[in-house]
Structure 1
Amino acid sequence: MQITLMKSKIHRVKVTQAELNYVGSITIDEDLLDAVGIIENEQVHVVNNNNGERLVTYAIKGERGSGIVCLNGAAARKAQVGDVVIIIAYGSMSEEESKTFKPRVVFPGEGNMIV
């Protein structure tokens, strides 16, 4: 049997932009993506701590070192600049694999930079 577990989490970053007139997705600083092992176009869940909104979209690479976290397209309606969000990616694995699996988590600091 395959089970679904959290594989990656960017915990409490601030939304830096919201672009309604865009194709869709969430743009994330490439340093943050690399730190947790999220790849471009991977499905992510975004949880907004300010208003309780939750959404599922896909990640796209933002400029490395920029701290960008930008909700694009319809997702832009789910957050405002300055909102604090958690970005989570999940993976499927066997129950046996799950016993030793360790998710990758970062807790960015000021400016969404990795501390």
Structure 2
Amino acid sequence: MSKKFVTQWFYAPLDTRKEIRPSGFLGLKKEVVDIHEAKIADLDNFSEQLENIYNGFDEMGYDVVNVVPISIGSSEPCHSILSNGKSNYLGETAFSITRGAVVVGKLRD
């Protein structure tokens, strides 16, 4: 007998951007590195995983009835630049991003 409700969750990695950084002796060489974006999930990966779960549920005879987002909280330092050029630490700025979801499916009648 099949279960009436099933769940599946997924978690998307952080998005990345390319950045050129100096390297080597005196920084004369340049290299391209991937930098993780702390506030942005990889939305291509996110949507692909969500689509795969929807299609998998459909093949098993389930309809998606709910999607519960998984949000991850974090913070980063906040600074202001004073008129004399010095930096003034103001504390932490909190933020959260949606990195994944729990998908709930219900067996079709």
Could you tell me the TM-score, scaled by structure 1's length? 0.28
The structure, 1 or 2, with the larger RCO (C-alpha pairs under 8 Å, 6+ apart) is 1
Could you tell me the TM-score, scaled by structure 2's length? 0.29
